[in-house]
Structure 1
Amino acid sequence: MTRSKFRFPETGPHAVAPWGVRKGYGDEHFLSDYRFQAPREDPELAEVFVYTPRMSYDPGETVEFHGSTTADTWTLQIYRDGHAPAMAHEAFDLPGTFTKTSETAYMDGCDWPVLHSWKIPEGQRPGFYRVVSTCMRKDGERFVQHHFFVVRPTPETRQGKILFMLATGTWTAYNDWGGANHYFGTWGPNGNEGSPHLSLHRPWTRGMLWLPKGAARIAQNRMPEMNDLPGYPSKEWGYSHGFGQYYAAAGWAQFDRHFAVWAERQGYGFDIITQTDLHLRPEILDDYTCLVTVGHDEYWSWDMRKTVEDFVERGGNFSRFGGNFLWQIRLEDDGARQVCWKTKAPKMDPVRDDPQQKHLLTASWESGGVSWPGASTVGVNGCHGMYGSWGGFAPRGSRGFTVYRPEHWAFEGTDLRYADVFGAEAGIFGYEVDGLNYTFERGLPYPVADPGVPEGIEILAMSPAVLFEYEHEGPGYRYYVRDSDLVGLAELAAEDTPVARRNYQYGSGMVTSMKRGRGEVLTAGSCEWIMGLTRRDPFTETITRNALDRFGGEA
């Protein structure tokens, strides 16, 4: 019997705003024209947006879809996404209800009414469920919006010993829908700052949950020629196609989905949770032998880290195929609100002077106010890694990793040797990476015994990275990040700022391995590792399989 091919609800053209003309200026740039995602609220240009109160549910629970639409009727479709997507629920010709969106929805939530609900059937297969809301405009064009939720595993529906945790703390940090994310927005006395408080009760910015094939990534696909302009392809592509300015920085579509599709295609049985699940339900790890995270994995809470370290100590294993382990967050209101003051934390985070709470300061893990380097949990640190393969950040650097310890089990079956480079053709190194302060002895790299760095970490492979853009002068050059991140992280550090700046400016991305108690951690510290899976790089695939087979059982 031949199974009919799944037709994605997104198939077909999506609405485009009516043609218009405006003035353009020669000094315009994406940095001077910050655009956050928001509703038009114009009945002539119908649109629909929904969100759910939580990111994950158990079978048997009811998912409520809070929404607002300027259309008379709208459609909602839900499908389980992955290697073999399957429709789970459809509702057509739903009556439309419009509710005005608050100017502070990004931090206070939208507070829209429930427009539809769906009771998840008992026994529903766990996984990532994409929600597609659509409506028709008067000119016949179709507006499309995406949301998601996760169906958590139960003892009856569990699919294996591997638990894949989505990097939802980072997704939230970059979601600017309604006015702000943790980076830029309309918060602050002048209405031009990122917000330290972000609500989960709002939609997701366009591109974080769904992207068409061919969407640009932050890391550049090609090596720039001599004197080429600094390249920021995702900013250019996002503007051209109406996607959020940060669509490429985080999310299911750009990162986590690549692993899920690959792992299912390879035959691995795994379940999916969100970081909020880990924070609120630490016992969820008890029935698994391997935790996996991938992609851009930047924001964690104290409780999340403590739970993972305890899990590994007891004999669990952690495979981390991602980069940028950098910021502490707090979750409030049962996970509905994320807090991160970032570089403002030493002066503005309310817990900064509380003896019982100051360890929860929402600054970088390596800052003087927190002093719990990420290496304790994942074997690498964010501040000793950072950027590569885009803009002015080592744009002609290695797109792969150089091997230093080919005898390690991670490289079994790869035929890799000392000094070989793997993954460069697939571009697995970038756009943000994690590393350690290191030294070389007789041709081999070793971690420097910095505070908070556990003994016994093995550096298996690495490549250099930088925390500032080299601003070469050239015709028409315009830079993006420049040295702003280096300055901000250096000011948070325990050392004097000039010393910290020197310590952080040059970094690396590393593949590391470490034992912790009865368990083990393997980290490939690069956001783009997953592209080695999608682009079928045999070395990246084999190393990933070696970790999953060792930690979670063979596919």
Structure 2
Amino acid sequence: MEAENALAGSPDWRISRRGPARAIEGFADRVSVRPGERLGLRVSTTSAYYTVRAYRMGWYGGARARLVWRSAALPGVLQPPAMLDPDTRTARAKWCETARIDTSGWPEGSYLLRLDTQDGQAQRFMPVTVRSASAAGRTVIMNSVATWQAYNRWGGADLYRGVTGRRGSRSLQVTFDRPYENRQGAGQFLPYEAPLIALAERMGLPLAYTTGVDVARRPDFLMGAAAMVSLGHDEYWSPEQRRHVTRARDTGTNLAVLGANCCYRRIRFEASAVGPDRNVVCYKDDYAKDPGFQRGSPPTHDFRRTPGSDPESSLLGVLYDGYPVDAPYVVSHPEHWLLAGTGAGAGDSFPHLVGVEFDRVNAAHPTPRPVEILAHSPVVCKGRPSYADTAYLSLPGGAGVFATGTMRWVEALDAGAPGGGKASHGLGARAGHFTRTVTANVLWAFAKGPAGRARPAEDNLAVHYRT
């Protein structure tokens, strides 16, 4: 990635003019493509013409993106409003294709396509991944597209609330066949993923790019990867995705979990009229009403629940423990090699770094051992005292597993960083230096191969919890 990031960046990639609601928006017919494949776009706009710019996200001297391709002026079409499926309450854009673009020459990576109206007064993003053919020997960045979609309220409904605003009216499945409402069309990519990509590409690591959908589709893609990175909010996984990640971890692929609430919800991908794996099915408490479950598919609810209980801690070493919290992050094991260079001492704290969801080590659930707790942060969640834990584990197959225990970790990477956005949640430059240093330590070590073999964990669970 060093040669790619040595190219001139494009500091003007950010959206500067939102314009009126629905002035321009769109979605791609695939969440990922290989370089050279064609990508269909479905765009709606009030403008007579529009353009598309493809920005590859990375470091680029702090610019954070490079313009890879730009379209000619394309004729605009105002497409129909959202359609709501009466059975599943799925908000969908039944739009025609308005452009088909060739991705030849596009380097692998995470992209934001920016749509601009003819007068430049309205802009929106569309995310897409140009995925890698192989992960062998590389660190894999896995875009959490199913989770982006779970929280997408375009059309008035997501997996949490429906058009009435009540939980009972929420969608039972959501679809990639619609734009993202969140963050000018970028979904959750900008706060939870882009800062890590900038850091990893700045480091010059050998990287591979994929999505959770592609990991589910491709059983052997992760085999031989040096490491896989789960980013800031990676909640929704299919059983196939989890099985393939687990198999890679068990054969020596390191796993870095740079968020919280990872692998919490079990989902199923289904086809839509646009293509395969376009719908994300998650019935949650109503899993028994799911036609797929009635036909023998696994229940689409929390992994830890019965039937089919398989708590995420068996994969990650940590367990989701609650929401919402806002608490200081407290260092408990400063001499650990992963904290080298941070300057942190025992008891040092970083305000607001724990939030808004958090994980802990909980030996009452399946937990690989040995496990080392590096930070043990007291929190109070809805009146209940608990802890958020940063943990490092080593496994028999040689892999190392690192889990931050807080969802704000990737956001904090931008605090005080060149080219970073405005620090959110009151995260200061100290938190930025700390998280960037630890993350770099993790990525360097994990890129070298099975870290658990080279640096086995020294179990200290009994120091923090009665077991």
Preserved CA contact (<8 Å) 1:428 1:530: no
In the alignment, structure 1 residue 111 sits paired with structure 2 residue 52? no
Which amino acid in 2 is paired with 1:421? D
Among 361, 366, 385, the alignment partner of 1:452 is: 366
1:50 alignment partner, one of 22, 26, 41: 26
Kindly provide the amino acid, as one letter, of the partner of residue 266 in structure 1. M
Q: Does the aligned pair in 2 maintain the 1:163–1:292 contact within 8 Å?
A: yes
Q: 1:348 aligns with which of 273, 283, 289?
A: 289
Give the deviation of 1:196 after TM superposition: 1.2
1:533 is aligned to 2:428: no
Map of 1:153-172 to 2, 5 A cutoff? 153-154=132-133, 161-172=138-149
**Equivalent residue number for residue 524 of structure 1:** 404
Rounded to whole Å, the distance in 2 between the matches of 1:208 and 1:73 is 19
| Kept in 2: contact 1:103–1:178 (CA 8 A) | yes
Match of 1:434 in 2: 359
CA distance in 2, matches of 1:552, 1:108: 41
Q: Distance in 1 between matches of 2:136 and 2:108?
A: 8
Structure 2 residue aligned with 1:542, among 420, 423, 437? 437
> Does the CA contact (< 8 Å) of 1:463 and 1:508 recur in 2?
yes
**1:281 & 1:432 partners in 2: Cα distance?**
30
Structure 2 counterpart SS, 1:306: helix
CA distance in 2 between counterparts of 1:108 and 1:5 reads 36
- Could you tell me which amino acid in structure 1 is paired with residue 400 of structure 2? E
Distance 1:273 1:99, change over 3 A: same
Q: Distance in 2 between matches of 1:288 and 1:273?
A: 12
**Cα distance in 2 between the residues matched to 1:7 and 1:362:** 42
Aligned to 1:394: none
Does residue 362 of the first structure (1) align with residue 290 of the second (2)?
no
Q: Choose which of 263, 288, 298 in structure 1 pairs with 2:225.
A: 288
In 1, Cα distance between equivalents of 2:168 and 2:403: 37
* Aligned CA distance change for structure 1 residues 371 and 467 (closer, same or farther; 3 Å): farther
Consecutive unaligned residues of structure 1, counting only runs of 5 or more, are 18-38, 40-46, 211-249, 390-396, 438-447, 471-504
Aligned identity (percent) is 25
- The verdict on how the C-alpha distance between 1:414 and 1:77 changes in structure 2, with shifts beyond 3 A counting, is closer
Pair 1:429–1:208, CA change in 2 (3 A)? farther
1:99-138 correspondence runs (5 A): 99-104=79-84, 107=90, 109-122=92-105, 124-136=106-118
Contact 1:385 1:466 in 2 (8 A): no
CA distance in 1, matches of 2:74, 2:120: 18
CA distance change for structure 1 residues 68 and 533 in 2, over 3 Å: closer, same or farther?
Answer: closer
Is residue 176 of structure 1 aligned with residue 163 of structure 2? no
Quote the residue 2:454 is aligned against: none
Matched letter for residue 47 of structure 2: A
Question: Match of 2:70?
Answer: 90
The letter for the 1-side match of 2:266 is Q
1:375 to 313, 332, 353: 313
State the SS of the aligned residue for 1:376: helix
**TM-score between both structures, scaled by the size of structure 1:** 0.69
The amino acid across from 1:130 in the alignment is L
Aligned-partner Cα distance in 2 for 1:463–1:308 = 28
- Alignment check: 8 A CA contact 1:199 1:338 kept: yes
Which residue of 2 is the match for residue 257 of structure 1? 194
SS in 1 for 2:440: helix
2:266 match: 328
2:158 touches 2:170 (CA, 8 Å); kept in 1? yes
Counting only pairs closer than 5 Å after superposition, residues 305-320 of structure 1 correspond to structure 2 as: 305-320=242-257
Partner in structure 2 of residue 488 of structure 1: none
SS at match of 1:283: coil
Deviations 1:321-344 (A, max 9, x none): 111132111111132000111233
CA distance 1:466–1:335, shift in 2 (3 Å): farther
In structure 2, give the amino acid aligned to 1:540: T
1:259/1:416 Cα in 2 relative to 1: closer, same or farther (>3 Å)?
same
Quick check: 1:164–1:291 contact (8 Å CA) kept in 2? yes
Q: Output the CA distance in 2 between the equivalents of 1:453 and 1:87.
A: 44
Q: How many Å apart are 1:372 and its aligned residue?
A: 0.8
Change (3 A) 1:463 1:277: same
Structure 2: tracts of 5 or more residues without a match: 1-5, 417-431, 450-467
1:169 is displaced (CA, Å) by 1.8
Instruction: State the shift of 1:77 in Å.
Output: 1.4
Distance 1:548 1:92 in 2: 40
Cα gap change, 1:56/1:421 in structure 2, threshold over 3 Å: closer, same or farther? same
Q: CA offsets, 1:498-542, max 9 Å, x none? A: xxxxxxx44332111222331221111111112332125333222
Q: Which residue of 2 aligns with 1:66?
A: 42
Structure 1 residues 373 and 135, CA gap change in structure 2 (3 angstroms): same
Tell me: CA distance 1:141–1:60, structure 2 relative to 1, closer, same or farther (3 Å): closer
1:164 Cα deviation from its structure 2 partner: 0.9
Does structure 2 retain, via aligned residues, the 8 Å contact 1:10–1:144?
A: no
Does the CA-based 8 Å contact 2:15-2:123 persist in structure 1?
Answer: no
Provide the C-alpha distance between the structure 2 equivalents of 1:87 and 1:509, rounded to a whole number of angstroms.
Answer: 40
AA aligned to 1:62 is: R
* 2:281 is equivalent to residue 339 of structure 1: yes
2: CA distance, partners of 1:3 / 1:303? 37
Summarize the Cα distance change of 1:267–1:369 in structure 2 as closer, same or farther, 3 Å threshold: same
Match of 2:18 among 14, 18, 22: 14
Q: Measure the CA separation in 1 of the matches of 2:7 and 2:228.
A: 32
RMSD: 2.8
Alignment correspondent of 1:273: 210
Instruction: State the TM-score, normalized to the length of structure 2.
Output: 0.81
Q: Is the 8 A contact 1:385 1:507 kept in 2?
A: no
Structure 1 residues 451, 535: closer, same or farther in 2, change over 3 A?
closer
